[in-house]
Amino acid sequence: MRKVLTGNQAVAYGAMLSDVQVVAAYPITPQTTIIEELADMQAEGLADLDYIRVESEHSAMAACIGASMGGVRTFTATCGQGLFLMHEMLHYATGARTPVVLANVNRAIAAPWSIWSDQTDSVSQRETGWIQLYCEGNQEVLDTTIMAFKIAESLRLPAMVILDAFFLSHTSEPIEIPDIEAVRDFLPPYDPGDLWLDPDNPRTFGSLCMPDTYMEFRWQIQRDMERAKQVIDEVQDDFGRVFGRNYRQVEGYRSDDADVVMVVSGTVASTGRDAIDFLRARGEGVGMVKIKTLRPFPRQELVAALRGKKKVAVIDRNFSPGATGVWAQEIRSALYELPEDERPIIYGYIAGLGGRDISIKTIEEIYQKTREADQPDDVDIWIGVNYV
């Protein structure tokens, strides 16, 4: 069935089709229409879920962790400040090995207030042990929400589906809605195994661990996060076979024969495709790589995609004060393993913070700067900023 849906509606459809059992949520712009849609779906009998209207995002995640410990499939959605308030509980979900799925609508951080798109909220959760899946369009949002449950549950690690504020959350696109029975075949009901609060099997979860045992629990998270790279590939391959839409952690666009490669994530990728076509038509040797996963970081795939390129321009719609954009940090670190003669020069650009548009013209400007300079002027280059 085809429908015209906003990104937020696509999230809600994804959660509904996944037969999510408990939703705990708190409203925040621009996430609200996700949780409104789910409330309507529940009220209309389209979704058989238990909806906890909590008093904060912190409690939303705590309730999801509790419900997941009770052995059911759980979901919540938030953005910006809400994600920051959840931060403690994001770590907790990972440590408790609860496969909660969360949709985060990328929203800029206050102060000053901004409700517009910016990845600083989600990239700030890099160290929480959540799988992070960035989406380019509304179809990808719906499909990724379904895949996120499968990935999270098979690893017992929580997963975040990430979409840009307004560019996706409030923009409508015609998208294909998969048949629910096909989704049920793809994603069977959640089976917590014996890791849940079973009254017939009294055990304690989350006990105090002394220094001689704590580290092993952390190592298991890392072991499974490394395994996640393969699991994400497998789930995406399965999804492609069943539904005919294929996703990759790292996806090149006209990058094989390019000298200069732009690295992007989220909706910038769709603008990027047009920008690359425009520049190619002018005869420029430019291509693009879109990254879907920040955690686990697809190091090997990136190295393979960027090995031997002359220059790599990373566009970060986020920023770590005192350092650089987060994608640029990750890519610099990943490419360092290449021998010097195969290692591209990396140009890190900060653009589009707080919802400022990243247009074809912006990408063209970034390309020009990259092409013209033998070396970057600085570790991070800010695009379109009035230095007042």
Q: Given the rule CB under 8 A, which residues bind another protein?
A: 21-22, 24, 50, 52-56, 58-60, 62-72, 74, 88-89, 92, 96, 197-210, 213
* CA angle centred on 22, ends 193 and 141, rounded to 5°: 95
Report, in Å, the least distance between residue 131 CB and another protein.
21
Report, in Å, the least distance between residue 151 CB and another protein.
21
- Lookup: tokens for 103: 């949709």
Report, in Å, the least distance between residue 61 CB and another protein.
8
- Cβ–Cβ < 8 Å for 293, 131: yes
The gap from C-alpha 228 to its chain's centroid, in whole angstroms, comes to: 14
Report, in Å, the least distance between residue 275 CB and another protein.
45
The gap from C-alpha 104 to its chain's centroid, in whole angstroms, comes to: 8
- Whichever of 203 and 310 has its CB closer to another protein, that residue is 203
* CA angle centred on 162, ends 376 and 118, rounded to 5°: 45
- Whichever of 50 and 277 has its CB closer to another protein, that residue is 50
Query: Measuring CA to CA, how many Å separate 233 from each of 68, 141, 143, 147, 266?
Result: 25, 17, 14, 11, 19
- Whichever of 5 and 96 has its CB closer to another protein, that residue is 96
- Whichever of 125 and 329 has its CB closer to another protein, that residue is 125
- Whichever of 54 and 288 has its CB closer to another protein, that residue is 54
- Cβ–Cβ < 8 Å for 286, 239: no
Q: 326-335 vs 299-306: helix axis angle to the nearest 10?
A: 80
Report, in Å, the least distance between residue 59 CB and another protein.
4
